């Protein structure tokens, strides 16, 4: 009767080689998936900010005047939303009343996508006479986000 001696060195080397090949093939696909997921999260956050500004603009209690501007600035990995009633008024940060009305958790968001975290751009919304906000965009990151998401591009007037 022969005793079981375990695996031979050749068998172990073959298993390690197969695992290395699988990791080499699957890792780039996984990294692309992670980056795409981060981009989707970033676009969702910008879309949430746009939706919040749209809600605030039509709220009768806040009395947002025609011509007021909402600006979502993306700079150095941070997106933040601000508001100005006219060109002469300095932009102010979103108030707690805004955040409560629009169900916003924060007025600042960290851009997680490595492709967009070092660039800049903006989305600017102007309130019309009827309270509707017309959006536009510019800058590398904002343009890339609109290219990535057709729904965001539609909202941002592209």
Domain presence at residue 1? no
Contact (CB, 8 A) for 96 and 62: no
Question: Residue 72, Cβ neighbours under 10 Å: how many?
Answer: 25
Judge whether 3 lies within some domain: no
d(CA 16, CA 19): 5
Whether 4 is covered by a domain: the verdict is no
Query: Which pLDDT tens digits describe the chain residue by residue (158 residues)?
Result: 667 777 888 999 999 999 999 999 999 999 999 999 999 999 998 998 898 888 888 887 777 888 888 889 999 889 888 888 765 565 665 667 767 777 777 778 889 999 898 889 999 999 998 888 999 999 999 999 999 999 999 988 86
pTM for the model stands at 0.79
How far apart CA 14 and CA 27 sit, in angstroms, is 20
**Is residue 35 in some structural domain?**
yes
Residue 2 forms part of a structural domain: no
* Closest alpha carbon to 74 in 53, 102, 33, 43: 43
Q: Which token pair is 9?
A: 């060195």
Q: Which domain holds residue 64?
A: 9-155
Counted domains in the chain: 1
Of 134, 59, 141, the residue nearest 103 (C-alpha) = 59
């Amino acid at each position: 009767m022969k005793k079981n001696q375990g695996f031979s060195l050749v068998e172990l080397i073959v298993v390690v080689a197969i695992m290395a090949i699988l990791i080499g093939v699957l890792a780039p696909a996984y990294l692309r998936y992670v980056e795409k997921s981060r981009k989707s999260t970033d676009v969702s956050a910008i879309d949430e900010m746009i939706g919040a500004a749209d809600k605030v603009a039509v709220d009768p209690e806040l009395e947002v005047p025609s011509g007021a501007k909402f600006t979502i600035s993306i700079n150095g990995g941070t997106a933040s939303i601000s508001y100005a009633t006219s060109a002469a008024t300095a932009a102010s940060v979103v108030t707690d009343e805004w955040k409560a009305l629009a169900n916003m958790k924060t007025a600042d968001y960290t851009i997680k996508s490595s492709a967009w975290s070092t660039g800049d751009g903006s989305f600017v919304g102007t309130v019309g006479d009827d309270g509707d906000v017309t959006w536009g965009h510019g800058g590398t990151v904002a343009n890339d986000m609109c290219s990535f998401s057709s729904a965001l591009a539609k909202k941002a007037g592209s």
